[in-house]
A and B are shown apart, each in its own frame.
Chain A
């Protein structure tokens, strides 16, 4: 069996013809006798947990378990699925991993994660964030613990809003569009000014508009999913995206929010608003520290005045690979992480905590307040193992956006093509 595994790993390496990132861990602490020195390898994602949390957590854990060293490694989101695939297939995977909530179903269905159904209550199960619950289960079993969630809000420059005479944050689409017009009028002399930076492939933002219209990306019949991007609701969401982009944005229509990093564009000071995640304020502040105090946030407005649009509840789960050699220790680690002390630190860092319903610590900043206001209206993408391929491969939603925004395709053609591509990916 070992031989076959080696063969398969070798074959994969060649078949894919890409230099895989090695898992890098070479420790062979396979014995689980207490007292012997052991290493617990923990992979968390870049930007997920503040160092105030991880430092204290790792120290407390090492203190409570004699002879145990926590090997804490920070991974980058970019390309994480490939890296996890390689790591989980290796003989020596990490012991605790963080996964995007849209990726969990895939890894669970491939039976690479440890079944945690029996541990829910010891991991604060009754306090878990409901919006992430679907993404933790596969085939009726629990394969992960929710870590945190965050959703997009509109981040804006309070000083520019004031200068343009906007007194209150928009609470409907119409007010939002009106604010864009006012900002443009007030900054007409600057040709580089953008009232709202909205790159053409910001598909998480598009999800909000589609959901706000009552549509969805895909529908399920039992375990089979079919795309629903060609519905009237989805088309209306796409129309609004175009309206918004044309009203206030000069961003490229053929790239997403990461190329270039939208927070860095905002950091240059020529942009009044963008739809972003809480920690992007920090990214922008690297270029201009004063932005930290000048940035406010409001929930993405709905077409119904006074309501907020549903938002994509982006977030992370933590799981234990089935191949972990320290499963008992890994469970202990998760238990400690799910305790209120560390969940509060998570909220202080600006995320919605995953295993605690208490968000009091979150509401202390304007961005946190907007986050807490819209999080209950959060939704997730279809919970199917096939969804991971939509994001890591060729995302039909991005193609649809670019094709329609640049005028390469009509709305019917763009949504029809994307829907066919999406159905195909979700179907197999």
Chain B
């Protein structure tokens, strides 16, 4: 009781001064706290940001810096720094074959992306129609294709298309096309690129089909029912229902495919090292030839910078759309 009394009397007795002081104190503490609160997310993010800058930003910066240096094996092992300004760029850009290679890379990427996204979409739509058993079989088959290591798949394709021992030529001859007896698929750049393109499409389809199938099953059934009631044909249903619903996803997987296919190296190099006569040389192959085969690391870095510039140019529209969307959020 006394305690209560004391407290009761104490509050009015100490008057108004402690309360405002406390309030001021509290307010100040809260403002301090909110500054910390505001800084805290950044502090928590800092290690990740620093790690990302170190892991991604620094090498990118290094590549740009390296592209202005003369850096062959000699300079590299002795730690010499020789600046050459734009020499590496003029060297590459004055090379007539560079433009052929750049154009070939763009055309090859476009063809592979178009075919693989198209085929992936077709399979995704097909999976919605077929019976569950067939669907599972299809999915397992694609999963196996997806799980196959790059080089193993490349070796299998080399073997299929082998001039003398390949199963393709043997099969074609068996079904009566005797012209394919000993036919070589790798005597021209176009033919070599087609075989490599086929391999890359084959490897890309599982991911595309699965992603797009996820999009397809997300489209509400009642929209199809409504289309059915309106008497829409299959093609009209696709255009009016499926296409608009899938478009954002399609855009994204197309963009991803573009990035992947533009920088494909392993399969192309393993097949014919960019041959015959440089007929299947793309920008990543050129980069390898300059960088490792000739040990001209500065020139190779310049090729990388040009590649990134070209890629940015190709994906300009997508990036713009992406940034605008992010802005809306």
Contacts and interface: CB of A to CB of B under 8 A. Distances in A.
Given A15-B287, A15-B301, A406-B187, 20 more contacts: A7-B65, A11-B62, A11-B66, A11-B301, A12-B291, A12-B297, A16-B291, A18-B292, A82-B292, A89-B77, A106-B295, A252-B162, A252-B165, A254-B184, A323-B77, A392-B292, A393-B273, A393-B289, A394-B289, A408-B187
Interface in B62-115: 62-63, 65-66, 71-79, 81
Contacts of A250: 164, 182
Contacts of A13: 59
A85 B295 contact: yes
Interface string A258-299: 011000000000000000000000000000000000000000
B304 A15 contact: yes
Interface in B293-307: 293-295, 297, 300-301, 303-304
Contacts of B287: 15-17
A112 B73 contact: yes
Contact of A252 (B66, B81, B164, B303): B164
B213 interface: no
A5 interface: yes
Closest 7 CB pairs of A and B: A11-B62, A252-B163, A393-B293, A110-B73, A11-B66, A1-B79, A16-B291
A7 B301 CA distance: 13
B65 A85 contact: no
Nearest to B76: A89
Contacts of B273: 393-394
Given A85-B292, A399-B275, A252 B301 contact: no
Interface in A402-419: 402-403, 406, 408, 417
B274 interface: yes
A5 B292 CA distance: 17
A85 B295 CA distance: 8
Contact of B66 (A15, A81, A111, A322): A15
A398 interface: yes
Contacts of A57: none
A14 B265 contact: no
A8 interface: yes
Given A11-B63, A110-B72, A252-B162, A17 B263 contact: yes
A32 to B, nearest CB: 20
Interface string A234-269: 000000000000000011111100011000000000
Interface stretch (B124-132, B172-180, B230-238, B276-284): B276-284
Interface in A31-51: none
A384 B76 CA distance: 20
B183 to A, nearest CB: 9
Contacts of A12: 66, 71, 76, 291, 297, 300
- Most A CB contacts (10 A, CB to CB) among B74, B163, B295, B301 go to B295
Contacts of B281: 394
Interface of A: 1-2, 4-5, 7-18, 81-82, 85, 88-89, 106-107, 109-112, 250-255, 259-260, 322-323, 388-389, 392-394, 396, 398-399, 402-403, 406, 408, 417, 421
Given A82-B292, A399-B275, A417-B277, A5 B76 contact: yes
B60 interface: yes
A206 B184 CA distance: 20
22 contacts: A8-B71, A8-B297, A11-B62, A11-B71, A12-B76, A12-B300, A15-B63, A15-B287, A15-B291, A15-B304, A16-B297, A82-B292, A89-B73, A89-B77, A112-B73, A259-B158, A392-B292, A392-B293, A394-B274, A394-B289, A399-B276, A406-B187
Nearest to B303: A15
A7 B186 CA distance: 40
B81 A14 contact: no
Contacts, number: 148
Contacts of B300: 12, 15-16
B77 A403 contact: no
Nearest to B294: A389
Contact of A393 (B59, B182, B184, B294): B294
B242 to A, nearest CB: 37
A417 B75 CA distance: 33
Given A5-B76, A8-B71, A398-B275, A110 B292 contact: no
Contacts of B185: 254
Nearest to B60: A14
A5 B287 CA distance: 20
Contacts of A88: 73, 77
Interface of B: 58-60, 62-63, 65-66, 71-79, 81, 158, 162-165, 182, 184-188, 263, 265, 273-278, 281, 284, 287-289, 291-295, 297, 300-301, 303-304
Contacts of B74: 109-112
A403 B63 CA distance: 38
Interface centre among B281, B297, B301 (most CB of A within 10 A): B297
A11 B291 contact: no
A4 B165 CA distance: 50
Contacts of B60: 14
Q: Which of B74, B274, B281 has the most chain A CB atoms closer than 10 A to its own CB?
A: B74
B184 A11 contact: no
Nearest to B69: A8
B68 to A, nearest CB: 11
Contacts of A9: 76
A107 B72 CA distance: 11
A417 B189 CA distance: 15
A110 B164 contact: no
Given A252-B165, A403-B187, A406-B184, A8 B76 contact: yes
B184 A402 contact: yes
B186 A254 contact: yes
A398 to B, nearest CB: 7
A255 B270 CA distance: 12
Given A110-B73, A393-B273, A402-B184, A11 B295 contact: no
Nearest to A386: B294
Contact of B77 (A10, A16, A111, A396): A111
B14 to A, nearest CB: 64
Nearest to A90: B77
A109 B186 CA distance: 35
A16 B288 contact: yes
Contact of B59 (A14, A81, A322, A396): A14
B276 to A, nearest CB: 5
Contacts of A403: 187, 276-277
A88 B284 CA distance: 24
